[in-house]
Amino acid sequence: MEADLVAVLRCPVCADGLALDDRTARCPRGHAFDLAKQGYLNLLPAASNGIDGDSAAMVGARTVFLGTGHYGPIRDALILNAELGEDDLVVEVGAGTGYYLAGVLGLSPQRRGIALDVSKYAARRAAKVDPRIASVVCDAWRELPLVDGSAQLMLNVFAPRNAAEMARVLAPTGRLLVVTPNQRHLIELVDVLGMVSVDDEKERRLRQSLEEEFVRTGSEVVEETMALDRTAVEQLVLMTPSARHLNYRELLQRIAVLPEPAIVTLSVTLSTWMRTSSTHQSA
């Protein structure tokens, strides 16, 4: 983890800035956080200890599935909408393995990224995906461990949204890109495999979660069809929240009756948000 990336982080105990000293991040008040041997920094506050993030199995399935490129259209859309300068900082909340963040950073060696996730297993993967990315364990529902106005762009892909904290971390002219599933997303699999469906209140809840701090400046639907073999279907299901309640043996039995390849719809909305003027004044 590079020292310049640690310099935009802040202490989860006192909110002072952090600086890297060998393999330890320290704040002026003496709070210290050692880098894990896998390369990530754990800044999870004590009050969040024991919180459940994605399991090792879920992260492993996500790594395999994303590696097939089936969700490439989502990453491509994020890249097209990023509008980054050559040395901008990008923060992804709920970054998982860092797949989308690494794509958005592109080829510019000066761009930097912070991958935030509550799962240590995800943080381990993100720490290795790109040397320009600092991987940090934190709780997205609490204060984010970043200094005010440090990010030019924030990504939020199928992840929790803490509007007040995201607005605080964004620079005044910064932008937030949010990806949410539509009701057609994976529709061919939802009922057959017993997956969690997208409810019709998703759009309302998105607006409600952000509108006090942000104004939406753009929106587009990304929709493609994916031809998935049964292994890809298995990995797709196991990387989602549905994996938490499905019986694995029953899942395999249900997958076995699917056609191969199974034609599955990818359907998400990518929305772009800017901080409101009131947020600028209060930050």
Q: What is the pLDDT along the chain (283 residues), one digit of tens a residue?
A: 888 899 999 999 999 999 999 899 999 999 999 999 999 999 988 766 767 789 999 999 999 999 999 999 999 999 999 999 999 999 999 999 999 999 999 988 999 999 999 999 999 999 999 999 999 999 999 999 999 999 999 999 999 999 999 999 999 999 999 999 999 999 999 999 988 888 777 788 888 889 889 999 999 999 999 999 999 999 999 999 888 888 999 999 999 999 999 999 999 999 999 998 644 444 3
pLDDT (tens digit, 9 = 90+) per residue, 104-161? Answer: 999 889 999 999 999 999 999 999 999 999 999 999 999 999 999 999 999 999 999 9
Cα–chain center distance at 126: 10
Return d(Cα 174, Cα 242) in angstroms, integer: 33
The phi, psi pair for 72, rounded to 5°, reads -55, -35
- pLDDT tens per residue, range 31-44: 999 999 999 999 98
CATH of the domain at 218: 3.40.50.150
> In the β-sheet with 41-42, what is the strand arrangement from edge to edge?
41-42, 133-137, 112-117, 89-93, 151-157, 170-181, 262-275, 214-228
pTM: 0.92
How many separate domains does the chain show? 1
**pLDDT score, position 240:** 92
The pair of structure tokens assigned to 211 is: 């509108």
Q: Could you tell me if 183 and 269 are in contact, meaning their C-beta atoms sit under 8 angstroms apart? A: no
Q: Could you give the angle at the alpha carbon of 145 between the alpha carbons of 49 and 98, nearest 5°?
A: 85
Angstrom distance (rounded) from CA 105 to CA 208: 29
pLDDT at site 50: 66
Sheet holding 19-21, edge to edge: 19-21, 24-26, 32-34
Residue-range definition of the domain harbouring residue 133: 3-282
Number of Cβ within a 10 Å radius of residue 129: 20
Contacts of 251 (CB under 8 A, 6+ apart): 193, 194, 234, 237
